[in-house]
Structure 1
Amino acid sequence: MIVEGTVLRGPEFEPVEGRVVAEDGEITAVEEEAVDTENIVLPAFVNAHTHLGDSIAKEAGAGLSLDDLVAPPDGLKHRLLAAATREETVEAMHRSLRLMGSTGTAACIEFREGGVEGVEYIREAAAGLPVDLTILGRETEAAMHEADGFGASGARDADFDRLRNATREAGKLFGIHAGERDPHDINAALDLDPDFLVHMVHPEAIHYDRVADNDTPVVVCPRSNLVTGVGVPPIRELGERTTVALGTDNVMLNSPSMFREMAVAAKLADVPATDVLRMATRNGAKLAGLNYGVIEPGREAKLLVLDGDTDNLAGARDVVRAVVRRAGAADVKDVIL
C-alpha cells in the first residue's frame, strides 16, 4: 500500500511531501519526494474516553445537572439504559462506532455500563467494524474479567480498593473519573494508583505534584465539561506534568467526533496544535497499548487522509494547525484502518 500527500511524519507531525509505504498493515517507510496531490496524511485518531451506551439518548436531559444526568445509579442515562432493549442499545452503539470509523477514529477506550452483559453488547455492536475497542467493564469484578479492565465511576461513589486489586492481579487496565465536579475525590482516586484519570477539571497543587510524581496519564474531555457546566480542564498545566489524551465522553452530550474535540481543546488551551494532535493520536494509543498513532516505520498503518483542496482546507498556511482547528468530516478523503 502506498499513500501520497503531505505526510505528518513522526511524533512531531513534521509535514513532509511524499508517501507512506506499508506492507501487511505495517508502515515500512516514509519517503520524502514531490507528489502531485493535495492530500494530507495523518495518524488515525484514538478516542481515549467514551460512553457509547449513551448513543440511545442523544441530547436527552437538557438543563440537568451533572449528577442528574450521569451519576450512578439513578442519573438519567442509567435509567434510560435500564429501560432500553438489547437491540436498541446495540444498534445505537453500532451507529456511533460506524461514525467514528468513517471519520478517522481507529480505536476508543470505552467505559461500558451494564456489567458482563454490557460488555457483550458492545462487542456485538462492534462486529464487522474496523474500530479497535479497549473495553473497561463497570459495576462488577466479573465485568472486568470479561473486558480489558475496569472503569470506575469515581472515588466518591464507592470503595474501589478490592476491584483495583483484582484488576491489577488480572494485569488489566484501571481507569477512574476524578476531579470532574470539584477536587475532593482526586486524592482518593490517586491512592488507587490508577493507570489513568479522566477529567481532572479541578486539580490543586498537591494533585499536580502527585500526577507528576507518579506519571499518571490524564484523559481530558473539554466539550463534555463545557456542556455539564463543571468548568474547563487545565490542559496546558496537565500536559506540562504528564501524558494527556483526548476523549469525547458521553454520546448523549456530544458527538464522538475527534475533529470537534481537537478544535475545542485547541481554542480553550494555550498549547501548540502539535500537542493537541498528539493528544488525539499517539497519547491515546499509548494509553491503550496500541502500536499506532504515529506515522513512522514499524507502526501499524492506521491512517486518515484529508483532502487538502476542499473549500475548508485549501490555502492553509499551517497544515497541522488547520487539521486541529479547522478540519472536519467533510474533509475526509480516505480512512485506512
Structure 2
Amino acid sequence: MEGNRERKVINVSSGIMGDSLDWKENFNLEVEDGIITHVGNGLVGNAYEIKGLLMPSLVNFHVHSGDYMVMEEGYQLTVKEAVGDPLSFKYKAFSREGYDVSASIRLFLRESLRLGVKTVVDFREQGIQGSKLAKTLKGQWVNYFILGRLEEEEFSREALRELMKYADGYGLPSPSAKYDFRVIKDSVKLRASHFAETLSQWLKYDLESFIEDFSPSFLVHGVWLDEEEMRVLADRDVPLVMCPRSNMWFSVGIPKVDLAMDSQVKVFFGTDNGAWISPNLWKDMELALLISRTRKPGSDYSKQILKGSTTLPSSFLGIKNRVEEGTPLNMLNVVDDENSGIKISKNKYMAIIKRGGDYILKSPELSKQ
C-alpha cells in the first residue's frame, strides 16, 4: 500500500496559516493522498507550484437554501410575511406546483463552491421530508450540514427521532415555537435558533431563560442584543451567527459586530435566505467590516471577521480547513494576491476581505482528491 500513495511537494508563494491566520511567504507543503503532512520554510526544487495566496475555505454558517429559486420575489414583504413559519411567502413558494426544492439547494451549493465557500450550514424547513430530501445532496459539492425542524403539528419524540436520521441537528425558527424545548435539548446534540432578530422578538423573550430551556449550541442574528446579553453569550460559550446583509435587507436592524467581538463572543457569519441574499459570504464579511468601522471609527476587526468566516466555525464543526498539517488540500482556497493588490496591501486582512472574493483561482493542486 505504501507504494500506491500519491506524494507531492508544493511550493506556495504566500498564505495565512493555522488558526491564527498569520501571514507567511515562500513555504512548501508536503502532501500525501491529498492531505498536508508537513509545512516547511522556503521553496524547494522539483516541486509543484501554487501561485497566489493559500487560505482557508469559507464557512457559511446560516443559510436557507430551499428558497434560492424564487430570487427577488416578495421583495416588498416584511420579514414575517416573507419567511415566517408557516404561512409566509417562502412556504407558499415551496408548495407551488413544479417548484423543485432539490434543484434550489443544488444550485445554491454549487454557487457556494464557486465562491470558495466549502462548508454550508442549512436551516432546512419542511419537516422530516425536507431533511430527507436535503440528505440526498450531501457529499457532492461542499461540507453540507442540515439543521432540520419539525412543523408544530408533527412534533413528537418519535418524529424527532425520525428527523435525526437525516439531519445533523435542529434549527429552531424562533423562541416562539410551541413545543417542549427540553425534548430537543435532551436528544439532539447540535441545536440552534434564531434569536433577537427583530426588536419585537428581543423585547418578548429573555436570553438567559431561553438558554436555560433550550441550551443552544449557537444562536443566529442577535441583532438587538445589548452589552450585558453579549457577555452572557461569551460566558456561556454560545457562538452568535451574524447575517448583516439579511438584517439590512429585511430592515430589522444592524448587527453590533464590534460589540459582540469586544465582548469576546465567538462570531460566525451567514448569508441567510437565498431568495434575497446571494450565497456570496465575502459580501457579508465586507459589510461586517464596514459596520464595525461605522460604529467604531478607525477600528480594525478585519482579522477577527476573517477568523469568524473560516477557522473559528470550522473548529466548532470539527472540520479541517486551515493551512496546516492534517488538512485536506481541497479544503483550502487560492486567491490571486498579485492582481487583487493583496500582496502589496499594508493591511492584508482588510484587503483579503474586500478583494479576495473577486480573485479566487482554480488551482489543479486543490481539485477534489
- Is the TM-score greater than 0.5? yes
Does the Cα contact within 8 Å between 1:47 and 1:246 map onto a contact in 2?
Answer: yes
| Closer, same or farther: CA 336–222 of 1 in aligned 2, 3 Å | farther
In the alignment, residue 327 of structure 1 is paired with which amino acid? G
Q: How does 1:146-295 map to 2 (within 5 A)?
A: 146-165=166-185, 168-170=186-188, 172-182=189-199, 183-184=202-203, 185-187=205-207, 188-191=209-212, 192-239=214-261, 240-270=263-293, 271-290=300-319, 292-295=320-323
Verify: 1:10 aligned to 2:18, yes or no: yes
Q: Aligned-pair distance for 1:37?
A: 6.6
| Closer, same or farther: CA 336–237 of 1 in aligned 2, 3 Å | farther
Counterpart position of 1:75:
88
Distance in 2 between residues matched to 1:207 and 1:124, nearest whole Å: 39
Does the Cα contact within 8 Å between 1:16 and 1:32 map onto a contact in 2?
Answer: no
Q: Aligned-pair distance for 1:119?
A: 1.3
Distance in 2 between residues matched to 1:3 and 1:285, nearest whole Å: 25
- Secondary structure of 1:269 counterpart: helix
Verify: 1:133 aligned to 2:144, yes or no: yes
Distance in 2 between residues matched to 1:304 and 1:169, nearest whole Å: 36
Distance in 1 between residues matched to 2:259 and 2:367, nearest whole Å: 34
CA RMSD for the aligned pairs? 2.3
Does the Cα contact within 8 Å between 2:28 and 2:43 map onto a contact in 1?
Answer: no
Q: Which runs of 5+ in 2 are unaligned?
A: 1-7, 294-299
| Closer, same or farther: CA 209–318 of 1 in aligned 2, 3 Å | closer
Q: How does 1:16-31 map to 2 (within 5 A)?
A: 16-17=24-25, 18-31=27-40
Distance in 2 between residues matched to 1:96 and 1:278, nearest whole Å: 23
| Closer, same or farther: CA 214–32 of 1 in aligned 2, 3 Å | same
Verify: 1:106 aligned to 2:123, yes or no: no
In the alignment, residue 353 of structure 2 is paired with which amino acid? V
Q: Aligned-pair distance for 1:159?
A: 3.5
Distance in 2 between residues matched to 1:323 and 1:175, nearest whole Å: 29
TM-score (norm 2): 0.83
Distance in 2 between residues matched to 1:258 and 1:223, nearest whole Å: 10
Does the Cα contact within 8 Å between 1:46 and 1:293 map onto a contact in 2?
Answer: no
Q: Aligned-pair distance for 1:212?
A: 2.1
- Secondary structure of 1:46 counterpart: strand
Radius of gyration: which is bigger? 2
Q: Aligned-pair distance for 1:179?
A: 0.6
| Closer, same or farther: CA 288–274 of 1 in aligned 2, 3 Å | same
Distance in 2 between residues matched to 1:286 and 1:195, nearest whole Å: 13
| Closer, same or farther: CA 336–19 of 1 in aligned 2, 3 Å | farther
Q: Which one of the candidate residues 305, 309, 332 is aligned to 1:303?
A: 332
Counterpart position of 2:3:
none
In the alignment, residue 101 of structure 2 is paired with which amino acid? T
Distance in 1 between residues matched to 2:89 and 2:328, nearest whole Å: 39
Distance in 2 between residues matched to 1:180 and 1:162, nearest whole Å: 22
Q: Which one of the candidate residues 68, 74, 79 is aligned to 1:66?
A: 79
Distance in 1 between residues matched to 2:216 and 2:227, nearest whole Å: 19
Distance in 2 between residues matched to 1:81 and 1:163, nearest whole Å: 28
In the alignment, residue 22 of structure 1 is paired with which amino acid? V
Does the Cα contact within 8 Å between 1:65 and 1:228 map onto a contact in 2?
Answer: yes
Distance in 2 between residues matched to 1:128 and 1:193, nearest whole Å: 32
Distance in 2 between residues matched to 1:160 and 1:204, nearest whole Å: 27
Larger relative CO (CA 8 A, sep 6+): 1 or 2?
1
Larger displacement relative to structure 2 (261-270 or 33-42): 33-42
| Closer, same or farther: CA 250–194 of 1 in aligned 2, 3 Å | same
Q: Aligned-pair distance for 1:265?
A: 1.1
Distance in 1 between residues matched to 2:348 and 2:43, nearest whole Å: 17
Q: Which runs of 5+ in 1 are unaligned?
A: none
| Closer, same or farther: CA 190–7 of 1 in aligned 2, 3 Å | same
Distance in 2 between residues matched to 1:314 and 1:295, nearest whole Å: 18
Distance in 1 between residues matched to 2:351 and 2:178, nearest whole Å: 43
- Secondary structure of 1:268 counterpart: helix
- Secondary structure of 1:6 counterpart: strand
Distance in 1 between residues matched to 2:275 and 2:358, nearest whole Å: 20
Distance in 2 between residues matched to 1:267 and 1:310, nearest whole Å: 23
Does the Cα contact within 8 Å between 1:152 and 1:160 map onto a contact in 2?
Answer: no
Distance in 2 between residues matched to 1:99 and 1:252, nearest whole Å: 13
Counterpart position of 2:297:
none
Distance in 1 between residues matched to 2:257 and 2:65, nearest whole Å: 24
TM-score (norm 1): 0.90
In the alignment, residue 288 of structure 2 is paired with which amino acid? A
Q: Which one of the candidate residues 25, 32, 39 is aligned to 2:52?
A: 39
- Secondary structure of 2:346 counterpart: coil
In the alignment, residue 52 of structure 2 is paired with which amino acid? N
Deviations 1:152-211, CA, capped at 9 Å, x for gaps: 00102333414423xx434x2000000100223352432311000000000124422321
